[in-house]
Amino acid sequence: DVKVTQSSRYLVKRTGEKVFLECVQDMDHENMFWYRQDPGLGLRLIYFSYDVKMKEKGDIPEGYSVSREKKERFSLILESASTNQTSMYLCASSLWAGSYEQYFGPGTRLTVT
Amino acid sequence: SQQGEEDPQALSIQEGENATMNCSYKTSINNLQWYRQNSGRGLVHLILIRSNEREKHSGRLRVTLDTSKKSSSLLITASRAADTASYFCAHTGTASKLTFGTGTRLQVTL
């Protein structure tokens, strides 16, 4: 089975802190994605990556950056956390560019105070 | 926003009844998928229907797709308490990234 793991289930940070959210997948998937999920808004794509060192902006990239130095690992970075970034963050991966089913991690609930 | 919408936002039924949820989207699609999310957890893929398909079945799930109306429906037959979850549709255009709907919260009571 594909396994996507995220570094923390719950995280509390202060405004202005730099925050790293880590995601690791164990199935050699080429594509990786970061979403945030907010009540009433569903999932919104922040960034995605088709390959190592490649990244593409999603629908809401402002205030975020990403890093993909190894194929299995995709990091989401909040350079200076703000209260409006309090949310559930979900990481996902898919096999290759032409495959569409995504496998999700359990999520990180981030609270910025 | 190209985000899809789902209807209803919330649905409460009794065990054994059928549950139907609908999804609308705005753009041309390559395929449409349905995912389930148990409370506070990640999403799990349920079923994918391609743009040239009209209906697809998987166990107790039946999905229909009407590309002329830009809509899809998910039917869960003979529902169980374990089906209690949020359900999301998601569509794919030319790239492999997904655009999700806002979700339907399904509550199945005993």
- Return the percentage of chain A with pLDDT > 70, whole number: 96
- CATH code for the domain in which residue B72 is found: 2.60.40.10
Contact A97 B1 (CB under 8 A): no
Average pLDDT over residues B73-85: 97
Residue among B36, B40, B29 nearest B59 (CA): B36
Spatial separation of the C-alpha atoms in residues B110 and B15, rounded to whole Å:
5
What band does B94 get if pLDDT is binned at 50, 70 and 90? low
What band does B52 get if pLDDT is binned at 50, 70 and 90? very high
Nearest C-alpha of chain B: how many angstroms from A17?
25
SS3 content of chain B, % helix, strand, coil (to 5): 5, 55, 40
What residue numbers bound the domain in which B67 lies? 5-109
* pLDDT at residue A100 tops 80: no
* pLDDT at residue B27 tops 90: no
B53 in reach of chain A (CB within 8 A): no
Domain A16-99 sits in CATH at 2.60.40.10
- pLDDT at res. B96: 65
* pLDDT at residue B74 tops 90: yes
Spatial separation of the C-alpha atoms in residues A81 and A15, rounded to whole Å:
5
Spatial separation of the C-alpha atoms in residues B73 and B44, rounded to whole Å:
18
- Return the percentage of chain A with pLDDT > 90, whole number: 83
| pLDDT tens by residue, A5-60 | 999 999 999 999 999 999 999 989 999 999 999 988 889 999 999 999 899 999 99
Residues of A in contact with B101 (CB under 8 A): 42
Q: How many domains does chain B have?
A: 1
User: Which of A1, A33, A36, A43 is best to mutate for the B interface (most B CBs within 10 A)?
Assistant: A43
Selecting from A43, A59, A101 the residue whose C-beta is nearest the C-beta of B33 gives A101
Average pLDDT over residues A70-93: 97
